[in-house]
Structure formats: structure tokens, C-alpha cells
Structure 1
């Protein structure tokens, strides 16, 4: 299959997702991935969209896998903005998988990329992700019937990120 045919299939999958047909959209985008294109930009796009679709459907492990593939492809391209977007998506996904250490690492990397490229909007997105990671980490610990110094620290850090 040619890269143009792959893009055409991907466009059809995107359209299905926009129209609210996630099941068909995912199926079509997965088919587009089978094209084995060497177009890294297209791979990033496909994996990002699939990650977001699986995230919206609550399949966080598949979402994580696709966002990780997006990150790998964007690293190969040396596309720092796309890397930051993939890291932001990974941070949100790790939060829902209760993998707070990875969520915090990803959010910090988003902030670092944003500062490096001078993107305040992206920096805000990273701070928001970091705040959410700290908040969810702290609330999960507190709801676990114990409160500790680390939970309090995470709550304080989440407030700092949201300020």
C-alpha cells in the first residue's frame, strides 16, 4: 500500500472518530497502521489518534501503548513539539492507570520541552498534568485509609502547579 493510500485510510478513520463512531474509527486507523509506512509523521498521527480514541473508550493500556509509539516515532523525527504532546497524553493516561511516578516524569518532561521551545501554552498544559498527577496520587493515598507526609507534599505540589 502506498503512503497516499495509507493517508486516505487514516482520513476515513479520523472522520469516523469525529462523527462519534469510535469502534469503526479505531478499526480503520488500526488498518492504516498495518500499511507499515516509513512516514514517521503519519505514524505519529495514527498512534496519537488511536491513543486518544482508546483513552476515550477507557482502554488505558492500549492508549498508553499507542501514545508510547507516538513518542518513539516523534523522537526518531526529533520533533520536540510532537514529543511534548505525546508525553502530555502519556501523563494523563498514566494517571488513570495509577502509575503516578511515570505520570509525574512525563509531565515534567512536557514542562522542560515547553521551556526549551518557549511555548507557554504547552508549559501550562504540562503544569496542569503535573498538578493532576500529584493530586490523584495524594487522594489515592488518603482514600487508602492512611495519610502520610508524602500525601501532604503531593497535595501542596498540586496546588503550586495550579496557581
Structure 2
């Protein structure tokens, strides 16, 4: 039989991961809302030719919105455990830093820009990448050894 987790508030890392994931779900939904997404009539399934912009700033497509939704839903599931929350934040942060690099390397009008990205997306990916990575690495004191970071491994 599994032990129940102690009652009380969840560790900060889980709360932060759940909040970040919920924002991704919200952004994914808002990408399908006319008015919040300008140029909604130009919303394409994928590709750089999608003329829709979330909040008039971030270029989106149906695929882009679905990826936000999926990423957020996965994050909500992972945030239920400390290890999952760390994975979501740190792994997601590293992924967003890779997307930032990709966004600068890809030609805006090339078929490789299939999600699509614009300059506003790229700068947001940089901020998200560093923010999520820092949160995933710094918010929880345990390192998986059963102890705190200030207790050397092998010592009580």
C-alpha cells in the first residue's frame, strides 16, 4: 500500500510548476479566441504565413496553440510530484532556450519556421527558458539523495 503524502502545503516548486503549466493552458486557449488573437481570420494550421497574433504581438497558428495546450497539460500532470515539477520546469526551460536559438537561426519565411516564431516569440522564449530553468533548479532543496543540499552525501 502506498503511503500518503503528509498534509500541508505543497512544496513551492510544485506550486510554481502548476502555475506555469496553467498559464500555458490559458495561452493555448486564448490563441483560439478572436479579439485576444488579432488577425484571427488569418490563423493557419501551421507555417510562417499565419497572420494571427496573440495579444497583437506573438505570431500563432493552430499548431502553436495546440503545442501550448499540450505543454501546459503535461506540466499540470508532472507538477503533481516534486520530480515531475523539476522535470517540467528545468526540462521545459532548457527546451525554450533551444527554441530561442532555433528562432534566431531559422529564416522567418522558410518552411522550417512551421510553428511559427517572430521576434516577440524569440525574446519570450529566452525569458521563459532562463526563468523556468532557474525555477526548476533552485526552488527545491532536495537533490534526490534524501537529504538537503547543505548535507554532504554519505554523512548524517
Q: TM-score if structure 1 supplies the norm length? A: 0.31
Whichever of the two has the greater Rg, that structure is 2
Higher RCO (CA-CA < 8 Å; seq separation 6+): 2
What is the TM-score normalised by the length of structure 2? 0.32
User: Higher helix fraction: Structure 1 or Structure 2?
Assistant: 1
